């Protein structure tokens, strides 16, 4: 079975795209009526001003001509924020869209939110911090422990290790972790990960680390992009499965930079249906809804794997705030909807 083409749940997601665009138009008409009647919505002649504070790389990848054109047609104007100038001296903005790092920037945003409660900040800095730290990143998924008729979603068994590497064997034993083990930096600024086959090699890595059980998943992961209430899923190649004979023969630690990058797309690959079949949409919709509420985020993505040999056992292994959107440009209409509402 060929798992090729645009992985958007085919006709279902195409209908959703059209429906979302129709909903935007309908809501804009309603907004105009409320504005005329004094119902509290800002007049559409004013438009929506979105101040964006992004790195140059993020600006280039996010503000694509297609998005800017679509936004302009909806009355949305993007204005660059200068971090060297006080934020309150810029604007006025209806929305602040951001992805800059550093404590100073977080303090600037928090002060701005307190002084300008009428401005929507996408997303709140304190909520973003939760997914920047891998110790707290997956906690809401674990607490949710989602299980329904479509499947079960959990997180891999993991250990946060900050101590002397010589104490690692005892810590692994107490946590019930077995090799191979995935090791990641505690703070999600780095997308690098390591696959370790033995204790000696693992001790060569510098803490703080997240040590996570490796779950065979057919070498494919699913990136679930969430924009407001909309979701889209694409496939990415991932780490290959590790068999017992390979585990007994291999040793060392192997570095993998940014495994789930766009260049590793699996959308056009010939895959076993048991590996390439997308997670059930009702399950993802329930998961996305709960995590939006628990995390307080509206613009993020999940990396999900399906345990190889099962049809309905899924694990969230990573959460990223404001991910790269170039590969899911079909969601641009959803982004404009999010900015309008």
Is 130 part of any known ligand binding site?
no
Is 306 part of any known ligand binding site?
no
Is 309 part of any known ligand binding site?
no
pLDDT of residue 36: 35
- pLDDT at residue 148 is higher than 90: yes
pLDDT of residue 221: 94
Contact criterion met (CB below 8 Å) for 238 and 219: yes
d(CA 169, CA 153): 29
Is 17 part of any known ligand binding site?
no
Q: What pTM does this model have?
A: 0.83
Name the β-bridge partners of 237: 220
> Model confidence over 41-87: pLDDT tens digits?
333 336 899 999 999 999 998 999 999 999 999 999 999 999 999 99
Is 56 part of any known ligand binding site?
no
**Average pLDDT score over the chain:** 84
- pLDDT at residue 273 is higher than 90: no
- pLDDT at residue 9 is higher than 50: no
Residues 6 or more apart whose Cβ sits within 8 Å of residue 82: 90
Is 223 part of any known ligand binding site?
yes
pLDDT of residue 40: 37
More confident residue, 31 or 332: 332
Is 213 part of any known ligand binding site?
yes
Is 99 part of any known ligand binding site?
yes
> Model confidence over 233-255: pLDDT tens digits?
999 999 999 998 888 888 899 98
Beta strands per DSSP E along 56-198:
76-80, 95-99, 120-122, 147-148, 151-154, 158-161, 181-185, 192-196
Is 220 part of any known ligand binding site?
yes
More confident residue, 7 or 131: 131
> Model confidence over 204-235: pLDDT tens digits?
888 899 999 999 999 999 999 999 999 999 99
Residues 6 or more apart whose Cβ sits within 8 Å of residue 293: none
Is 214 part of any known ligand binding site?
yes
Percentage of the chain beyond pLDDT 90 is 61
Report helix, strand or coil for 98.
strand
d(CA 301, CA 244): 32
> Is the backbone of residue 40 left (phi > 0), alpha (psi -120 to 50) or beta?
left
Is 103 part of any known ligand binding site?
no
φ and ψ at 115, to 5 degrees? -85, -20
Is 203 part of any known ligand binding site?
no
pLDDT of residue 216: 96
């Amino acid at each position: 079975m060929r798992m090729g083409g645009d992985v958007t749940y085919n006709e279902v997601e195409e209908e959703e795209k059209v429906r979302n665009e129709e909903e935007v138009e309908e809501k804009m008409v309603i907004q105009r009526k409320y504005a005329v009647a004094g119902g509290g919505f800002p007049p559409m002649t004013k438009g929506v001003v979105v101040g964006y504070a992004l790195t140059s790389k993020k600006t280039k990848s996010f503000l694509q001509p297609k998005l800017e054109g679509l936004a302009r047609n909806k009355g949305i104007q993007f204005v660059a924020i200068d971090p060297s100038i006080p934020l309150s001296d810029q604007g006025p903005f209806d929305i602040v869209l951001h992805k800059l790092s550093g404590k100073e920037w977080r303090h600037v945003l928090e002060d701005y939110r307190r002084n300008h409660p009428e401005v929507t900040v996408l997303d709140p800095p304190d909520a973003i911090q939760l997914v920047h730290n891998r110790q707290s990143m997956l906690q809401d998924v674990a607490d949710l422990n989602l299980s329904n008729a479509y499947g079960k979603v959990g997180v891999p068994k993991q250990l946060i290790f900050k101590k002397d590497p010589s104490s690692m064997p005892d810590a692994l034993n107490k946590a019930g972790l077995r090799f191979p083990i995935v090791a990641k930096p505690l703070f999600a600024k780095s997308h690098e990960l390591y696959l370790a086959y033995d204790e000696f090699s693992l001790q060569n890595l510098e803490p703080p680390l997240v040590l996570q059980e490796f779950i065979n998943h057919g070498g494919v992961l699913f990136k679930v992009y969430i924009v407001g209430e909309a979701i889209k899923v694409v496939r990415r190649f991932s780490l290959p499965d590790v068999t017992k004979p390979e585990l007994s023969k291999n040793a060392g630690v192997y570095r993998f930079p940014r495994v789930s990058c766009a260049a590793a797309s699996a959308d056009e690959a010939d895959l076993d249906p048991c590996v390439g079949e997308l997670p059930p949409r009702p399950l993802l919709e329930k998961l996305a809804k709960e995590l939006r509420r628990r995390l307080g985020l509206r613009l993020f993505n999940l990396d999900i794997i399906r345990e190889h040999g099962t049809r309905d056992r899924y694990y969230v292994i990573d959460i990223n705030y404001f991910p790269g959107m170039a590969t899911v440009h079909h969601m641009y209409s959803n982004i404009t909807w999010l900015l309008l509402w």
